[in-house]
Structure 1
Amino acid sequence: MWLLFAIAADVLSTFYSAKGNGLVNKLDQGIALILYLISFACAAIALKYMQAGIFMCCGRGLVLLQQLL
């Protein structure tokens, strides 16, 4: 569950970072920063409950799937 939250926050942060157009739109970059921090925190919590190898495989696999879609 935490891994899904981490991936969702990471995808949204990437979207807001691209929408921010560099540092032109500071609000969108601020939202992206907060989402990156949330993503990192969720990934850290998920790592507490999963082995590192499984965590990395699941995370990379879901990110790859997201990029393909």
Structure 2
Amino acid sequence: MFALISKINPGAWWLIFAIVTDVLSTFYSAKGNGLVNKTAQGIALVLYIISFACAAIALKYMQAGILYVLWSGVGVL
């Protein structure tokens, strides 16, 4: 199993982390109820920044079209 994990493209790991942080940021953004809950909105903002940074790192390893389709498609689900 560890051999399989080590063979996966590093860009895929960065993309998975970007997707997870994107989904969490969307959750916290909805939980923020506009600007009523500023803590939740602050967490959402930090998670969005992390998500974009991870996607930018993943771009070094994969094509932009593939990355964007997977990132936005899975993030919507």
Using structure 1 for the length normalisation, give the TM-score.
Answer: 0.85
| Mapping of residues 51-62 of structure 1, within 5 Å | 51-62=63-74
1:15-68 deviations in Å (ceiling 9; x for gaps): 00100100001000000000000000000000111111221232233234xx2x
- 1:31 matched to 2:43: yes
Supply the AA of the counterpart residue of 1:16. Answer: Y
In structure 2, the partner of 1:7 is 19
- Sequence identity (%): 72
Query: After TM superposition, where is structure 1 displaced by more than 4 Å over at least 4 residues in a row?
Result: none
Using structure 2 for the length normalisation, give the TM-score.
Answer: 0.77
In structure 2, the partner of 1:19 is 31
Aligned length: 65
* CA root-mean-square deviation: 1.2
- Structure (1/2) with the larger helix percentage: 1
